[in-house]
């Protein structure tokens, strides 16, 4: 029973089945929208189906019980396969093949046999020099009728596969360390505000940091064509009211504090903000004001009251604008004041006639100008603490190293026998390899060519 269990776990068939299942589950995860935060799942599925999907953890497949079970099975499978096969590899590496064996030379293709005229002893020593130069762990056995040589190349390559598989285990172990002892969290902080509590992913409730994060300023820089060039949060990290670290946080440039990495992940405008406007009445000095959203002010020498109804960062792609309502005893007027109205008028000369609502001088005899709007932003920070990263990195590095050895070397073993036949000296070359038949053929042909030419002297 125990044996059967082991052979079940150690089978490559299981590996393949697991790989296919992991692949299929992964595909499922890219088709079903994944979400793991709190909040409602937005789908076009019926509520009943949503419940079924939820109970099967299909909205969080990569952290579901059964995905983890698959990974654990793969883990066990890799370990079992390695343990099962290792003794064979070890034996292949350590055993010295007997030089008495005749099997390597049975059924040898004619191409692998060279017949040359000449003294056998002389040829034997030439062959010996050649093989010693080309092969490692070289051995030799003399008998009366023949001399047999053995040599090999790349014996270590048999271990590379273990390096790769163990490295994959190391990567998975690193990922488990990260998920067990690390965390991912996020927090939004408004400009000027600070916090020491963050929302941890996949958990309800807040986590308290042992320091405070303050967002001093959030800013966006744009390219000329309007695409964002930089998102930047100026952050201060404080411990008991002393700043321990301060700096700009940008995308691709995380900041690490006490082992926690901060990332610029998101941002947004806080509803509200304020506007700077200038009011001109014919023949009177201008008035400059700063008004908050929904606030009202009165006009000099007039009974009307003006309210800031809306503030738009970029209205209809024509830049910042503010919607004003003028309540006068006679009427109520509403119009937009664009910051770039002069430019718009140049582009469309009859704009104000066509769209009176865009006329900043609609309430005569006053004229409004928008000098700028001030938005308050919040910055969306992502936090992560992952003690498994270095383990994953080491594993990844070893995988690549293992690949290079596995794919670019192979264990090539050669038996060469020099004897006499039909009055000539006969050299037979038998070659075996665990893989890379082309490389083996190339090496064999090389040996045969040089033996046939007997120009081994030139090899040095």
- Minimal distance in Å, beta carbon 417 to other proteins? 28
Q: Do residues 318 and 340 lie in contact, with contact meaning Cβ atoms separated by under 8 Å?
A: yes
Q: How many C-alpha atoms does 320 have within 13 Å on its Cβ side?
A: 15
- Minimal distance in Å, beta carbon 326 to other proteins? 41
Q: Cβ closer to other proteins: 223 or 282?
A: 223
All residues at 6 or more sequence positions from 223 whose CB lies less than 8 Å from its CB, including other chains? 229
Q: Do residues 280 and 378 lie in contact, with contact meaning Cβ atoms separated by under 8 Å?
A: no
CA distance 130 to 321: 87
Q: Do residues 378 and 270 lie in contact, with contact meaning Cβ atoms separated by under 8 Å?
A: yes
**Which residues make up the interface to other proteins (CB under 8 A)?**
12, 15-16, 19-20, 22-23, 26-27, 29-31, 33-34, 62, 175, 184, 223, 225, 227-231, 250-254, 261, 263-265, 382-384, 386, 389, 392, 396, 399-400, 403-404, 407, 435, 437-438
Q: Do residues 83 and 9 lie in contact, with contact meaning Cβ atoms separated by under 8 Å?
A: no
Which residues does residue 330 pair with via DSSP β-bridges, in sequence order?
A: none
Q: Cβ closer to other proteins: 166 or 265?
A: 265
E strands, 10-145, where?
113-116, 136-142
- Minimal distance in Å, beta carbon 392 to other proteins? 7
Q: Of 248, 297, 302, 304, which Cα lies nearest the Cα of 274?
A: 297
Q: Of 322, 254, 253, which Cα lies nearest the Cα of 293?
A: 322
- Minimal distance in Å, beta carbon 160 to other proteins? 12
Q: Cβ closer to other proteins: 263 or 336?
A: 263
Q: Cβ closer to other proteins: 139 or 250?
A: 250
CA distance 403 to 168: 12
Q: Cβ closer to other proteins: 151 or 380?
A: 380
Q: Cβ closer to other proteins: 34 or 132?
A: 34
The torsion angles phi and psi of 258, rounded to 5 degrees, stand at: 50, 40
CA distance 254 to 152: 51
Task: List, as one string, the DSSP characters of 76-104.
Answer: HHHHHHHHHHHHHHHHHHH----TT--GG
- Minimal distance in Å, beta carbon 13 to other proteins? 9
- Minimal distance in Å, beta carbon 366 to other proteins? 41
- Minimal distance in Å, beta carbon 34 to other proteins? 7
SS3 66: helix
Which residues does residue 324 pair with via DSSP β-bridges, in sequence order?
A: 308, 335
Cα angle, residue 421 at apex, residues 420 and 423 outer, rounded to 5°: 90
Q: Cβ closer to other proteins: 176 or 351?
A: 176
Question: Measured between alpha carbons, how far is residue 196 from residues 48, 170, 207, 260 in Å?
Answer: 40, 34, 8, 13
Q: Cβ closer to other proteins: 55 or 225?
A: 225
DSSP class of residue 144 equals S
- Minimal distance in Å, beta carbon 230 to other proteins? 6
Q: Cβ closer to other proteins: 23 or 457?
A: 23
Q: Cβ closer to other proteins: 26 or 314?
A: 26
CA distance 459 to 450: 9
Q: Cβ closer to other proteins: 11 or 112?
A: 11
Task: List, as one string, the DSSP characters of 150-199.
Answer: EEEE-GGGGGHHHHHHHHHHHHHHHHHHHHHH-EEEEEEEETT-EEEEEE
Distance, CA of 182 to chain centre: 18
- Minimal distance in Å, beta carbon 381 to other proteins? 9
Q: Cβ closer to other proteins: 30 or 317?
A: 30
- Minimal distance in Å, beta carbon 403 to other proteins? 5
CA distance 428 to 114: 6
């Amino acid at each position: 029973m125990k044996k059967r269990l082991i052979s079940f776990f150690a089978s490559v068939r299981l590996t393949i089945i697991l790989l296919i299942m992991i692949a299929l589950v992964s595909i499922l995860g890219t088709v079903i929208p994944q979400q793991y935060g709190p909040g409602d799942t937005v789908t076009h599925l019926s509520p009943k189906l949503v419940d079924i999907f939820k109970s099967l953890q299909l909205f969080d497949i990569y952290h579901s019980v059964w995905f983890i079970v698959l990974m654990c099975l793969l883990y066990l499978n890799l370990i079992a396969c390695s343990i099962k096969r290792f003794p064979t590899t070890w034996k292949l590496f350590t055993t010295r093949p007997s030089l008495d064996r005749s099997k390597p030379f049975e059924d040898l293709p004619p191409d692998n046999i060279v017949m040359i005229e000449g003294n056998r002893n002389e040829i034997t020593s030439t062959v010996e020099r050649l093989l010693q130069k080309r092969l490692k762990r070289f051995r030799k056995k003399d008998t009366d009728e023949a001399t047999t040589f053995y040599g090999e190349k790349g014996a270590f390559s048999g271990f590379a596969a273990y390096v790769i598989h163990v490295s994959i285990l190391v990567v998975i172990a690193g990922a488990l360390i990260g998920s067990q002892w690390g965390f991912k969290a996020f927090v939004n902080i408004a400009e000027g505000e600070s916090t020491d509590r963050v929302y941890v992913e996949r958990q309800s409730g807040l986590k308290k940091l042992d320091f405070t994060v303050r967002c001093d300023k959030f800013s966006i820089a744009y390219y000329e064509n309007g695409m964002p060039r930089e998102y930047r949060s100026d952050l201060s990290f404080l411990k008991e009211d002393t700043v321990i670290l301060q700096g700009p946080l940008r995308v691709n440039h995380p900041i690490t504090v006490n082992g926690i990495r901060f990332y610029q992940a998101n941002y947004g405008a806080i509803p509200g903000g304020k506007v700077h406007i200038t009011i001109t009445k014919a023949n009177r000095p201008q008035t400059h004001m700063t008004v908050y959203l929904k606030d009202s002010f009165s006009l000099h020498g007039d009974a009307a009251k003006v309210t800031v109804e809306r503030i738009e960062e970029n209205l209809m792609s024509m830049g910042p604008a503010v919607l004003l309502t003028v309540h006068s005893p006679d009427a109520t007027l509403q119009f937009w004041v664009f910051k770039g109205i002069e430019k718009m008028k140049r582009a469309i000369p009859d704009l104000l006639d066509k769209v009176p609502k865009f006329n900043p001088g609609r309430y005569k005899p006053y004229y409004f100008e928008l000098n700028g709007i001030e938005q308050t932003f919040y910055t969306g920070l992502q936090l992560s603490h992952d003690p498994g990263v270095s383990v994953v990195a080491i594993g990844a590095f070893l995988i690549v190293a293992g690949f290079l050895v596995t794919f670019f070397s192979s264990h090539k073993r050669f038996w060469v026998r020099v004897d006499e036949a039909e009055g000539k000296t006969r050299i037979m070359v038998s070659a075996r390899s665990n893989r890379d038949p082309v490389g083996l053929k190339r090496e064999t042909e090389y040996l045969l060519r040089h033996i046939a030419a007997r120009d081994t002297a030139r090899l040095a």
